[in-house]
A and B are shown apart, each in its own frame.
Chain A
Amino acid sequence: MNQPAPSPSSPKLPVNLAANPKLSSWLKFSPQGQVTVSPGKVEIGQGIVTALAQIAADELDIDISRVQMIRASTAASPNEGVTSGSLSVQQSGRAMRHACAEVRQIFLQLASERLGVDIASLGVEDGTISGPGNVTTSYWELAEEVSLDRDATPDVKPKPATRRALAGNSVQRIDIPDKVFARARFIHDWALPEMLHGRVLRPQNARAKLTGLKDGNVRTIAGFVAVVRDGSFAGVVCETEHGAEAALQALRKGAVWADGEPLPDESDLAAFLKAAPSETTIIDKRTASSPGAKKRTLRRQYTRPYIAHASIAPSCAMAQWNGDRVHVWTHSQGVYLLRTDLALVLKLPAENIIVEHMEGAGCYGHNAADDVALDAVLLAKTTGGRPVRVQWSREAEMSDAPFGAAMAIEIEADLDAAGEIIDWRHSIWSNGHVARPGRAAQPALLAGFEVENPFPRMISTNPPQANGGGSDRNAVPLYDFPSWQIESHRLTTMPIRTSALRTLGAQGNVFAIESFLDEIAAERGEDPVAFRLRHLTDERAKDVIRAAAKRARWKPEKQPGIGYGIAFARYKNTGAYCAAVAEIEGAGDIRVRKLTLAVDVGEAINPDGVINQIEGGAIQATSWVLKERVRFDRQRITSTNWTEYPILRFSEVPEVEVELIQRSEMDPVGAGEAAHGPVSAAIANAVFDALGVCVRHLPITRENIIAAMEQAP
């Protein structure tokens, strides 16, 4: 929205390259025939390093096996902010492609001088540069003569899509062999020399303050090194992990806590969200040129609960002090952003801190990775320079990490006499969806709120619509309703900690919009596919709907106990297009039998990687919709293990089919968040189809279906 039109006269550098123009920060050549490529984006289980390696190999005309991908670190990597929002291929990919194109040109220029032939007559094959008369040289031969310590210029044009050899092909992911052969790649499996183990003591009751701490028995534990206390932050350090666990149990016995802060009533989230103090923003408004005559108004309310990241690994970090300098190893999504917050808490210049990325388990947003990094830094202060590894418990991971925000969404639609939508009003009540580190004058790290002189707890905010919005993400309809108003009420208190979880508000909004559309279509007796197509003008949107419908043989004949639903969204209204058809069965416990999706991400760099992300997103969304809900009483989070917070199991996973619409001429966009909204709504619509009841409160459990039936007119 409102982006200035690019000026055709002056080519511009990709944003991330303009911010990090030095070419040597992106790639380096070795005389031994290797290229090290150093993106600022990080692997979080989504396959980004492979896609970036493909882009680099393509643009440089080298075999991908020559590319060595370097993990991001504040010591050397370009600063590409946070790896989130399905933007890595867009942002980092574009910068990488441009940087490599320019580097190739620099090499060709030098080769042209050395070989005495015109640059235009030179070609590159796997790094060997050759020209007329069999003259050859190579990147590797010239590597020591070329300095890449120079700034990128906007003049070099990357190759056209038709000349790329690797992009568009399903290259095997470069990290997978390590993972099936159990070679240490995860931070959890790493050990530094002389490493110690730490554990942090946190209250059971939300935000309770530590008023007393007796550590009598702790010191007798074998390998005991230190107890650390700073205000309400407390922890232990031991020689072994096993000792640290034992010490934590002992420390817990000697801890005295004051009362915590009350939590809302989980049985009526909408009432809590609507009553809490909030700040209102009009997100978008469209006025009809000639308003239609309203016959009646339909009003529906939808909710989604708090959702946990629930990564399979608890968060982990390592830290090592050397005087007033500290080195941190983390699976954070943003090494520079974490460094900024660490500097705030430690009151150190950022240059004193190195933050280095290592892979963690699948990351779906702002989880506890950053929190545990500060925990490790604080505990490591006491060890005389020995590194400390801290790993959270499953319980901590499920209760102390930020959650995806609960949402209440109310939509009113004015219909004319023909049942056509003439006005649409969409209101959201929710905590903000982002409280990430490194973006404010105060830190966003948990221990920062607990130390003796604590920073105020950060209240989540929402990114602006131009960046995709937060609570309001995907709230502006893509349909051609003549008028609408979209408003967002962001809570200004935050009893339950929320921050970025995959799709931010998009899953809730798409669930609400697409559910309501099916209800309106049903009232009109109109087919949901036809209804959507009739209200869309964007052909790429229509194409994914048609493709998903066709592939799912929409609409199969009615069978008892089986339902079919369709839904569509374009992620952030600017990203990937995705349509999903769900086939479900059951009357109480719903089983999703099959999901059929069609997706358009523009140029798919690694098609199988895109399909993998879409399949994964579809299955995760099924889990959210059928099972997931953070549980709490008035004192504490109670869903702290896999029994209390169940996720989808192998026996419950639907068959998933994905059709990828390749558009190699279009800019690539990310795929990681495209499926959640459409799949959530398609399942709800399939339940409506099967049972004739609209379940408007997630998750779609037996309990919520019964409640919906009782409320139905």
Chain B
Amino acid sequence: MPSVRFRLNGVEMDVDADPDRSLLDILRGQLGMTGSHFGCGAGECGACNVMIGDRAVAACDTPLWSVADKDITTIEGLGTPERPHPLQRAFITEQALQCGYCVSGILMSAAALLKRNPKPGSREVKEALDGNLCRCGSHNRMVRAVLRAADEMAAE
């Protein structure tokens, strides 16, 4: 089995697996990192979004071979309860979810946006999250939370 090298949440990885398998399957099935969620398997809902470089991509639709030598950040690498990312703090402050299944993907889309554009307006936040589906209707709270995080980051 060929191996694929990449950096995951700052750690060098060497994964032996069929390179056509999806990144999501590798993360969840092989590496036991279940923060990225399966939603559709077709890149249509954003529940499995991770960051590759500074772009949010659907891990279910990303073959392993394509991430060779790339820098991948998943929700597990975003922050911890001890050292939360401003987005995670803001989602708690705004109580910006109901069931929360879509949230890890949404946090990664938002994190990618803030890397590219640290001071987005609400229209830009909505555009950045447009590929993420939320069924509970927490959209407005999530947009507010992203704007709050951006403000906090600007103040830091």
Contact = CB atoms under 8 A, between A and B. Distances in A.
Interface of A: 44-47, 170, 172-173, 175-177, 179-182, 184-186, 188-189, 191, 240-242, 310-314, 359-364, 391, 393-394, 608, 612-613, 615-620, 623, 641-643, 647-651, 653, 655-656
Interface string B102-132: 1110010000000000000000011101101
A617 B138 CA distance: 9
Interface of A is mostly: loop
Given A242-B29, A312-B102, 5 more contacts: A170-B95, A191-B32, A615-B138, A650-B143, A655-B140
24 contacts: A45-B100, A47-B98, A173-B95, A176-B91, A177-B81, A180-B97, A180-B103, A188-B37, A311-B135, A312-B37, A313-B37, A362-B135, A363-B99, A364-B135, A393-B41, A394-B40, A615-B137, A620-B135, A620-B137, A641-B40, A642-B45, A650-B126, A651-B127, A653-B137
Given A240-B29, A361-B99, A642-B133, A619 B44 contact: no
Interface string B28-52: 1100101101111110110100000
A393 B40 CA distance: 7
- Interface centre among B81, B101, B134, B136, by most chain A C-beta atoms within 10 angstroms, is B136
A172 B95 contact: yes
B39 A394 contact: yes
Given A615-B137, A618-B137, A176 B95 contact: yes
Report the contact-size class of chain B (Cβ under 8 Å from the partner): 35 or more
A241 B29 contact: yes
B45 to A, nearest CB: 6
A362 B101 contact: yes
B79 interface: yes
A46 B135 CA distance: 12
A188 B39 CA distance: 11
A310 B127 CA distance: 22
B101 A313 contact: yes
Contacts of B75: 182
Given A608-B95, A650-B132, A312 B45 contact: yes
Contacts, number: 158
Contacts of B98: 45-47, 362, 612-613, 616
A618 B139 CA distance: 11
A641 B92 contact: no
B121 to A, nearest CB: 13
B88 interface: yes
Given A186-B37, A655-B140, A312 B135 contact: yes
Contact of A394 (B35, B37, B41, B135): B41
Contacts of B137: 615-620, 623, 653
A415 B24 CA distance: 62
A313 B88 contact: no
A620 B138 CA distance: 9
Shortest beta-carbon contacts, A-B, top 10: A45-B99, A182-B35, A619-B137, A179-B100, A616-B137, A361-B101, A362-B99, A189-B34, A642-B44, A394-B40
B70 interface: no
- Interface centre among A189, A391, A613, A656, by most chain B C-beta atoms within 10 angstroms, is A189
